[in-house]
Amino acid sequence: MDLLTITTAILLGWMVLIITLERLFPYTPGLKLFREGWWLDLVWYTLIQSYVLKIVIFDYLIAPAKSALGWSEAGYLSHWPIWALVLLFLFTHDLYIYWFHRWQHNNKVLWRTHEAHHSVKTVDWLAGSRSHALEILINQTIEFAPIVLLLDNETAAVVVPIKALLDAVWGMWIHANIDVNMGKLQYFINGPQMHQWHHANHREVFYANYATKFAFFDWIFGTGFLPGLKPLKHAFFKPKAFGLPYEYPRDYFLQHWFSFRRFDVRKVENHPWLKPYIEWQLTLQRWLGFSVNAETEGEASTSKPIVVAAPPSSSPPPASLAPLSSPPAAP
């Protein structure tokens, strides 16, 4: 059995396990499996976008770069054991992701490449797949280029699928709709509890919990937040609201257009030329059993989460979570 078959089987098995745990121990009770946006995340982001960008990144960016540098069989780190290489690239990539992710939340231009990810109103195992094409192009090129460039082809062919598998597995885990408390383990590794706070529709935690796998980056650099471990000045219940504080398109292409040019979402979606296309998609999703309205799903909400002793909305975030610059602006 080849490595690709093994990693695919593990990924599918993990997906089934996560979905089962979401049904048994839900963070948001009553959340439908085919929740609002599920079709968008599965078909457009997970299947179509991932397939196209994989070809662009590996065949048209990384491979030509390796050939141009004359490193086709250089293999500078190929003598390292596979486990050490995987750990090296996991650590260095997560450190990069921490800082780039933090920059995205603190830069108005880069926020446009990240807001799609935060537009999910109900966070579950599939929500992590919703990421702007430009964001994926940047992050995965920087992620996989060092692996391909620094290893010979044979070694890279082993490390790349293992690294990709771990990324996918961990992405499902931290976005899972599972009510789990990992306790002090979250000083070291990330989990659903910390990442649910990152997706919470609340200013106090907008600048917190940037790390993907290694939570200690957040605690080291002062951006970690989790009640019971390192509370803010105000006591919070669990977040009850996710998504963006402004209206965002529901269509894949409109979401990408919106990142380059702001527009009135309702006006555009109701344009005579676009409305039939939008309605056709919604009708198809309803016919297939997909929800098209997050407002009716379980206890999910688009209002602010319940807070205890919350500061006025005009109050700035705590100093430890203060933005590096001005926060991203709504349209």
| Residues 154 and 180 sit within 8 Å (Cβ to Cβ) | no
Can you read off the two tokens belonging to residue 270? 């109701």
pLDDT confidence of residue 309: 28
The pair phi, psi for residue 171, each rounded to 5°, is -60, -40
pLDDT per position as a tens digit, 82-133: 999 999 999 999 999 999 999 999 999 999 999 999 999 889 999 999 999 9
- Average pLDDT score over residue span 150-168: 97
Does residue 297 register a pLDDT over 60? no
Whole-angstrom distance, CA of residue 202 vs CA of residue 301: 12
pLDDT per position as a tens digit, 188-218: 999 998 998 899 877 767 889 999 999 999 9
Q: Where are the alpha helices (DSSP H) in 288-331?
A: none
Question: Which residues make beta-bridge pairs with 241?
Answer: 301
Whole-angstrom distance, CA of residue 5 vs CA of residue 60: 25
Whole-angstrom distance, CA of residue 264 vs CA of residue 258: 9
| Residues 13 and 168 sit within 8 Å (Cβ to Cβ) | no
User: What is the residue-averaged pLDDT of the chain?
Assistant: 86
Residue 299 DSSP symbol: T
Does residue 274 register a pLDDT over 80? yes
pLDDT per position as a tens digit, 19-71: 999 999 998 888 888 888 999 999 999 999 999 999 999 999 999 999 999 88
SS3 at position 150: helix
pLDDT confidence of residue 296: 41
| Residues 90 and 143 sit within 8 Å (Cβ to Cβ) | no
Whole-angstrom distance, CA of residue 147 vs CA of residue 163: 10
| Residues 221 and 99 sit within 8 Å (Cβ to Cβ) | no
Does residue 241 register a pLDDT over 80? no
Whole-angstrom distance, CA of residue 120 vs CA of residue 35: 10
Give me the torsion for CA of 322, 223, 197, 238, rounded to 10°.
Answer: -90
Give the confidence band of 288 by pLDDT, cuts at 50, 70, 90: confident
- Average pLDDT score over residue span 63-82: 91
Q: Is the dihedral of CA 106, 212, 208, 239 positive or negative?
A: positive
pLDDT confidence of residue 137: 98
Can you read off the two tokens belonging to residue 291? 């929800």
pLDDT confidence of residue 305: 36
Residue 312 DSSP symbol: P
